[in-house]
C-alpha cells in the first residue's frame, strides 16, 4: 500500500514539474494558456491514467483517449481570431502535448515524458526563433497601401489579382479619404518565397481604379 501511494506521488509530482516547464515558456510569451493551465492539464491527465491502472477492469487506453479528445475543447478556447489573423494554434498544440505528457507520467513512462518536454520546449523557444530567421520556412509579410477608387468591385479586383499571385491577405483596413473621395486601403500580405514584393506592387498598380501603391519598404 505504501509503495502504491509513493508511486502515485512520484507520478503526479513528475507531471506537475514537467507541465510547469512547458507552462512557464507559454507564460513568458504572454499566451492565453500559461503556467497554471498547462500544469493542471498535465497533473489531471496523470491522475486519470494512474486511476485507470488502479481500477480493476478499467481500460487505460480508452480513458487516455478521452483525455486527449477532451483537451481539444480546452485548446479551442485558446485560439483567437483577430480580423484575418488566427492566434493561439501553437498554445492549443502545447496543451495537447502536455496532456500526453501527463498520461505518460501516469503510466510510469518517465523517460518518454521527459524527452517530450525537452523537445516541446525546444520547439516553442529556439525553433520558433529559427523559423523567423529563415525566410523559406516562414513566408514574409509586408504592409501595402492602396489609393483606390470608391466604386463597387474595385476591392474585389485587388483580391483576385493577389489570388492569382498566390499571395494571402492577412489583414485589411479601409479608410475613406474625404478630400479625394477615394479609399485608403491597408493590406497585410503574406508572400510565398517565389513572389517578390516589387512584382506584387507592379501588378496592383496596373489594376483599374488603383491610383497609387506603396509598401513598408517603398
Angstrom distance (rounded) from CA 121 to CA 136: 23
pLDDT over 90 at 152, yes or no:
no
pLDDT over 80 at 6, yes or no:
yes
Q: Which domains does the chain have, with CATH numbers?
A: 2-133 (no CATH), 140-215 (3.30.70.260)
Which helix H or strand E contains 83, and what residues bound it?
none
3-state SS class at 143: strand
pLDDT per position as a tens digit, 101-139: 999 999 999 999 999 999 999 988 877 666 555 555 555
pLDDT over 50 at 143, yes or no:
yes
Angstrom distance (rounded) from CA 132 to CA 140: 9
pLDDT per position as a tens digit, 7-60: 999 999 999 999 999 998 888 877 767 888 899 999 999 999 998 888 888 888
Q: pTM of the predicted model, to two decimals?
A: 0.61
* pLDDT score recorded for residue 40: 92
Residue 217 C-beta-side C-alpha neighbours within 13 Å: 9
pLDDT over 50 at 62, yes or no:
yes
pLDDT per position as a tens digit, 168-209: 888 888 888 767 778 888 888 888 877 888 889 899 999 888
| Residue with the larger pLDDT of the pair 92 and 180 | 92
| Residue with the larger pLDDT of the pair 165 and 89 | 165
Grid cell 477532451 is found at 70
Give the mean model confidence (pLDDT) for residues 86-103: 86
Angstrom distance (rounded) from CA 187 to CA 175: 12
Give the mean model confidence (pLDDT) for residues 63-79: 79
Amino acid at each position: 500500500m505504501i509503495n502504491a501511494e509513493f508511486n502515485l506521488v512520484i507520478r503526479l509530482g513528475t507531471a506537475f514539474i514537467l507541465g510547469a516547464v512547458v507552462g512557464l515558456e507559454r507564460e513568458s510569451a504572454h499566451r492565453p494558456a500559461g503556467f497554471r493551465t498547462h500544469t493542471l492539464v498535465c497533473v489531471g491527465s496523470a491522475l486519470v491514467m494512474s486511476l485507470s491502472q488502479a481500477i480493476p477492469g478499467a481500460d487505460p487506453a480508452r480513458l487516455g483517449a478521452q483525455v486527449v479528445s477532451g483537451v481539444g475543447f480546452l485548446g479551442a478556447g485558446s485560439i483567437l481570431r483577430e480580423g484575418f489573423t488566427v492566434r493561439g494554434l501553437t498554445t492549443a498544440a502545447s496543451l495537447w502535448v502536455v496532456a500526453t505528457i501527463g498520461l505518460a507520467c501516469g503510466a510510469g513512462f518517465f523517460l518518454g515524458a521527459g524527452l517530450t518536454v525537452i523537445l516541446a520546449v525546444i520547439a516553442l523557444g529556439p525553433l520558433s526563433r529559427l523559423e523567423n530567421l529563415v525566410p523559406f520556412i516562414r513566408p514574409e509579410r509586408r504592409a501595402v497601401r492602396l489609393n483606390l477608387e470608391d466604386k463597387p468591385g474595385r476591392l474585389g479586383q485587388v483580391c483576385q489579382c493577389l489570388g492569382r499571385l498566390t499571395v494571402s491577405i492577412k489583414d485589411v483596413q479601409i479608410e475613406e479619404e474625404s478630400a479625394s473621395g477615394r479609399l485608403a486601403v491597408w493590406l497585410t500580405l503574406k508572400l510565398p518565397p517565389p513572389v517578390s514584393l516589387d512584382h506584387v506592387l507592379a501588378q496592383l498598380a496596373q489594376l483599374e481604379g488603383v491610383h497609387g501603391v506603396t509598401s513598408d519598404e517603398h
